[in-house]
Amino acid sequence: MFRNCLTALTIVMLGALPIQAETRVPASQAEIALGFAPLVKEAAPAVVNIYAKIITETQARSPFMNDPFFDDLFRGFGQQRRPRVQNSLGSGVILSADGYVVSNYHVVGTASEIRVVTNDRREFNAQVVLADEESDLAILQLDEAEDLPFLTLRDSDRVEVGELALAIGNPFGVGQTVSSGIISGLARSGTATGAGRGYYIQTDAPINPGNSGGALIDVNGDLIGINTRILSRSGGSNGIGFAIPANLVREFVRQAQEGSEAFQRPWAGMSGQLMDADLAESLGLGLVEGMMISDLHPKSPFGRAGFQVGDVITQVDGEPVNSPPEMVFRMTVAGLGQTAVFTRVRDGVAEDVEVAMLPAPNDPPAEALALGERSVFPGLEIARINPAVASGMGLPFTADGVVVTHAGPYAARAGIQEADILVRVNGRDIERPTDVEQALREKTRWMQVELMRRGQRVVLRFRL
């Protein structure tokens, strides 16, 4: 929708005419002055400012805390939890005329109140319709919105290093700002600051606090990605910023428009190992590329498609794969319920294999259980681990047993946390949720709980 404004821009910035394919310098002062102005004029109205209110609970600090004498005497005194209001400032991008807006999870994902201000100063209330912390993406729906300007999503797999790019957002709350640069890297994973784990486009266009959720566009005005993070020691842009690719945004929008309450990814049911020169040589591969399958879950769709431990996956739908984050990204953008073609190398022979993109199965049944008021730990919620539970709680796909899905107030005071895997309670081995319930019924003066927490064995012992 923005290609009409590019004639002058293409001449000035690229210096190449499609027919003559020759470069030249700007011919006039007018061309020099024009720069990116037509492009920004068309794209900027689709980038909005977001003001979010987040209510968190904080614990008041006791004046006796850390005092060797009074700490025990006044333990818990004045440490009641109090609500605290935090204001978050960020940016967003309108993706449809009826008011679907994409932003970052860390901007709006936990907000209780969201206000969106457009470039022409119109204000809308908004609700989060789909959010995912791991991807750091959130989709908003504006109230009573219609005929809004919006950006078109580009196929981000076609983006190349060296392309010109513009970042549009609201850095430091000073108002909408535009910065320019190039695409300086692709397929970046695990390099950006923050909690998000993902697969990024790298740019040297300055991205500063408040730019989060803003647009990274190309010279056609199409959306390449959503600005999300920076690599910085000072908190400001040091020339390395990261954007979430448009193809992942497209899948988020699709699921949001279909009414999904939580973002769903296809389940791999495998773990992979990054290829290096030694591993490639041992497998008889000429090039160091791809990801080797190191473990497979019995119910993995890859196992059902004939994959084995030791196979190397080099491509997904014709796009290269060199790490587990790339694999997850490629599966996600392929789309839940679709099939994707994986290039498998076994014994030096490459073969294309179709694999169904399916959610993690709820098999065996989770047998979710909430303990009642008469239990030692009323409010404790537990479930049997299966692929769906493990995936939803971020557990290793090989995890087994019974997991705490919600600790509740009494178990939390005893030191039990969400995602703890219960191994033994009062000497009883735990295999099913009902085993926990029965073990807690036993009358005893002391309680001992053995559990696994982030791969470490923990033993809790306390008096009833």
Active-site hit among 88, 91, 103, 106: 106
User: What is the longest distance spanned by two Cα atoms in the chain?
Assistant: 91
Sequence-ordered list of residues with C-beta below 8 angstroms from that of 333, at least 6 positions apart, any chain: 245, 247, 248, 250, 251
- Higher-pLDDT residue of 396 and 442 is 396
147 is catalytic: no
Active-site hit among 212, 237, 300, 323: 212
Residue 250: phi and psi, rounded to 5, are -60, -40
**388-391-397-398 Cα dihedral, nearest 10 degrees:** -60
For the chain, first and last CA: distance in Å? 68
Query: How much is the pLDDT for 195?
Result: 40
Query: How much is the pLDDT for 1?
Result: 46
State the Cα–Cα distance between residues 442 and 144, nearest whole angstrom. Answer: 58
Active-site hit among 88, 103, 132, 136: 136
Query: How much is the pLDDT for 34?
Result: 61
Which has the minimum average pLDDT: 155-164, 280-289, 331-340, 439-448?
280-289
The architecture CATH gives domain 369-463: Roll (2.30)
Give the type of residue at 73. L
Give the type of residue at 418. E
Query: How much is the pLDDT for 463?
Result: 82
- Quick one: which of 293, 295, 285, 301 has its CA closest to 350? 285
Is the pLDDT at 390 greater than 90, yes or no?
yes
> What is the rounded average pLDDT for all residues in the chain?
84
Is the pLDDT at 453 greater than 90, yes or no?
yes
Give the type of residue at 456. Q
SS (H, E, C) the chain: CCHHHHHHHHHHHHCCCCCCCCCCCCCCHHHHHHCCHHHHHHHHHHEEEEEEEEEEEEECCCCCCCCCCHHHHCCCCCCCEEEEEEEEEEEEEECCCCCEEEECHHHHCCCCEEEEECCCCCEEEEEEEEEECCCCEEEEEECCCCCCCCCCECCHHHCCCCCEEEEEECHHHCCCEEEEEEEEEEEEECCCCCCCCCEEEEECCCCCCCCCCCEEECCCCCEEEEEEEECCCCCCCCCCEEEEEHHHHHHHHHHHHCCCCCCCCCCCCEEEEECCHHHHHHCCCCCCCCEEEEEECCCCHHHHCCCCCCCEEEEECCEECCCHHHHHHHHHHHCCCCEEEEEEEECCEEEEEEEECCCCCCCCCCCCEECCCCCCCCCCEEEECCHHHHHHHCCCCCCCCEEEEECHHHHHHCCCCCCCEEEEECCEECCCHHHHHHHHHCCCCEEEEEEEECCEEEEEEEEC
297 is catalytic: no
Which has the minimum average pLDDT: 51-60, 138-147, 364-373?
51-60
Whether 36 and 2 have beta carbons less than 8 Å apart is answered as no
All CATH 2.40.10.120 domain ranges of the chain, comma separated, are 48-59+82-263
Give the type of residue at 303. G
Whether 353 and 216 have beta carbons less than 8 Å apart is answered as no
Is the pLDDT at 107 greater than 80, yes or no?
yes
Is the pLDDT at 98 greater than 90, yes or no?
yes
Q: Give the CA radius of gyration of the chain.
A: 26
Q: Is 2.40.10.120 the CATH number for 48-59+82-263? A: yes
- Quick one: which of 87, 106, 103 has its CA closest to 95? 103
All CATH 2.30.42.10 domain ranges of the chain, comma separated, are 270-356, 369-463
- Higher-pLDDT residue of 227 and 285 is 227
Report angle CA 147, 148, 150 to the nearest 5 degrees.
125
Whether 62 and 69 have beta carbons less than 8 Å apart is answered as no
Please give the structure tokens belonging to residue 134: 């791991």
Q: Which fold has domain 270-356?
A: Pdz3 Domain (2.30.42)
- Higher-pLDDT residue of 6 and 250 is 250
What would the pLDDT profile of 365-382 be if each residue is shown by its tens digit?
999 999 998 889 999 999
- Higher-pLDDT residue of 435 and 112 is 435
* Range 91-108 average pLDDT: 94
pTM of the predicted structure, to 2 decimals: 0.79
Q: What is the per-residue burial (b if ≥16 Cβ within 10 Å, else e) of 79-112? A: eeeeeeeeebbbbbbbbeeebbbbbbbbbbbbbe
